[in-house]
A = this chain, B = another copy of it.
Amino acid sequence: MRSLNQLLWLQRLLVKLRWFYFVKFWGMDIHPSAVMSLSVRLDKTYPKGVHIGPDSYLAFDVAVLAHDMPRGLYCDTHIGARCFIGARCIILPGVSIGDGSIIGSGSVVTRDIPPASIAAGNPARVIRRNIETSRLGRLRSAGRDRGNEETVLPELELAAREAGGLP
């Protein structure tokens, strides 16, 4: 683990380069403070339609779509600020996810999700409202109800490792 941590600067460089590639080359609208796994798929058919807000987090294999091929539509898909998008979620074209919302792993988001909500399922439904998230979509209550303190990893290591696409 210790030896892996020595490579964190390399990972951070790769993540930065990828952000540059998405924003400057493809023209996507991604806030520099957003963090996403290397395996995330952002719509390259209509890259201008991809909008990701500050301090949001996209876990591994998330797909953000901005075009609907059978209907021939090209739409804007918005992910707000301080959102957490769980592993393998699919955000359908034209959907807006409000600030501070959490989408459970494996969800398919077909409609707009209001701010400060937890949604999950296929199709995704709101299962909780009025939550409060901080950076990377963490619940403000996070960690308080945790029993086993030993299992808490340093946040930097966690975020950096996840940003590298490790599951």
Contact = CB atoms under 8 A, between A and B. Distances in A.
Question: Secondary structure at chain A's binding surface: helix, strand, loop or mixed?
Answer: loop
Interface stretch (A7-15, A16-24, A144-152): A144-152
A52 interface: no
A133 B72 CA distance: 12
Interface in A88-117: 88, 90, 92, 102, 104-108, 110
A58 B152 CA distance: 28
Interface residues of A, number: 54
A136 interface: yes
Nearest to A44: B166
8 contacts: A69-B138, A70-B84, A70-B138, A71-B141, A71-B143, A90-B105, A106-B108, A107-B122
